[in-house]
């Protein structure tokens, strides 16, 4: 039997701590100035380059980001450390990432009017997981008391939409009655706070979505999933090389190339037209015109990317009502960005309104879902 799939609930968990651009810049500049003093002779001899200074205005102009949330703030702004401090948890304690995931999942279940017994599949899909195994999804499944199965997915900034496609397929095929797709984006441990061009990009957050059959849906706000589409095309322009093989290659496991790094100009130039073409072709395959869309829940990586994509599709600048922006407050939260936008801006839609969730990122990877308010 082929069931129809719906999104019946969404949950958003936001960390208690935040860092403004001004705080981040003050810390980075203090570190950079000390670095330049400590390495003055090498800089003078042209052996290394001096570290450039930054400004809050530079960050906002380059990205649209004004602040970001962080799971653990201690240490991140300390110029003698420049990375967060996480407490060590033993194997019998809930992991940091599972804690984030459970918090978002409970909010999504409440929104969907569902209990643990209504879910039999858990997908934790995000840019990074804090360990290889056991899967964070199985830990979350256990913490929530869910019978069934769970697994992790890693598709960088498209992890949420790729996870949702898998959930939709499972519900349509009848292999799952209810699916939790959770995106616990604990990105801060992989941020290079000593790199002017990337230290401001990411923030921490967790989102969760309930996908189920239309026959069992009981929520106040639900959406038919009309179609899903995912594509990948290999690119080296966004990378994070941290991995277990550094133990045997004898490299620095925390070197700059092991943390997030990108060729931002190439990413902007290549991904924007790819994302616009992806959305346009996805809508066309369903006989839907761009003009019929009420809402664009776009990936929240860079405001200039979103402006260019929406303008290419609409032929004009999108309004904030059409394409809500959350990255000014949350920054780039990897796969969770488009889901944050959906969580905050979906209840005002009326029956029959059509919207698109779309994410794009490393891989390259692009995923989209066409939704219709029920």
Residues with catalytic roles: 157
Q: HSE of 22 in the Cβ direction (CA atoms, 13 Å)?
A: 0
Distance, in Å, from the CA atom of 356 to the CA atom of 323, rounded to the nearest integer, reads 10
| Residues belonging to the chain | 374
Looking at the DSSP assignment, which residues form a beta bridge with residue 332?
202
Categorise residue 90: left if φ over 0, alpha if ψ from -120 to 50, beta otherwise: beta
Q: 79-113 in b/e burial notation, b at 16+ Cβ within 10 A?
A: beebbbeeeeeeeeeebbbbbbbbbbbbbbbebbe
Distance, in Å, from the CA atom of 168 to the CA atom of 166, rounded to the nearest integer, reads 6
Angstrom CA distances, 174 to 57, 121, 286, stand at 51, 12, 23
Q: Which of 215, 40, 12 is nearest to 100 (CA)?
A: 12
Q: Which of 284, 301, 303, 300 is nearest to 292 (CA)?
A: 284
Distance, in Å, from the CA atom of 17 to the CA atom of 134, rounded to the nearest integer, reads 28
Residues with Cβ within 8 Å of residue 99, at least 6 apart in sequence = none
Distance, in Å, from the CA atom of 185 to the CA atom of 22, rounded to the nearest integer, reads 23
Distance, in Å, from the CA atom of 115 to the CA atom of 15, rounded to the nearest integer, reads 24
Angstrom CA distances, 257 to 82, 240, 260, stand at 16, 7, 7
Residue ranges of alpha helices (H) inside 116-218 are 136-144, 159-173
Token readout for 178 is 């209810």
Residue 205 neighbours by CB distance under 10 Å: 29
């Amino acid at each position: 039997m082929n069931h129809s799939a719906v999104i019946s609930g969404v949950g958003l968990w936001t960390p208690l701590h935040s860092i403004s651009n001004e705080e981040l810049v003050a810390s980075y500049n203090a570190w950079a100035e000390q670095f330049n003093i400590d390495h003055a002779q090498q800089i003078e001899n042209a052996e290394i380059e001096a570290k450039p200074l930054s400004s809050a205005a530079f960050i906002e102009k380059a990205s649209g980001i004004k602040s970001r949330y962080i799971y653990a703030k201690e240490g991140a702004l300390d110029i003698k450390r420049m990375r967060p401090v996480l407490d060590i948890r033993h194997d019998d304690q809930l992991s940091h990432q599972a804690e984030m995931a459970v918090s978002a999942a409970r909010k999504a279940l409440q929104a969907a009017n569902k209990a643990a017994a209504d879910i039999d599949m858990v997908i934790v899909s995000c840019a990074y997981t804090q360990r290889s195994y056991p899967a964070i999804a199985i830990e979350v499944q256990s913490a929530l008391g869910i019978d069934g199965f769970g697994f992790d997915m890693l598709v960088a900034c498209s992890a949420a939409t790729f996870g949702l496609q898998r959930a939709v397929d499972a519900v349509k095929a009848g292999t799952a009655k209810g699916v939790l797709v959770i995106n616990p984006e604990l990105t801060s441990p992989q941020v290079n706070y000593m790199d002017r061009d990337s230290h401001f990009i990411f923030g921490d957050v967790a989102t969760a979505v309930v996908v189920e059959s239309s026959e069992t849906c009981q929520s106040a706000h639900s959406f038919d999933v009309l179609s899903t589409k995912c594509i990948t095309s290999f690119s080296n322009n966004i990378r994070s090389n941290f991995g277990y093989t550094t133990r045997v290659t004898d490299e620095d496991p925390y070197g700059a190339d092991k943390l997030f790094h990108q060729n931002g100009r190439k990413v902007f130039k290549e991904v924007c037209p790819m994302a616009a073409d992806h959305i346009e072709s996805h809508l066309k395959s369903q006989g839907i015109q761009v003009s019929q869309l009420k809402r664009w829940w776009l990936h929240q990586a860079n405001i200039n990317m979103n402006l260019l994509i929406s303008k290419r599709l609409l032929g004009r600048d999108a309004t904030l009502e059409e394409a809500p922006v959350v990255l000014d407050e949350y920054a780039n939260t990897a796969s969770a960005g488009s889901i944050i936008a959906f969580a905050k801006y979906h209840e005002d839609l009326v029956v029959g309104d059509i919207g698109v969730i779309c994410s794009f990122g490393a891989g390259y990877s692009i995923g989209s879902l066409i939704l219709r308010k029920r």
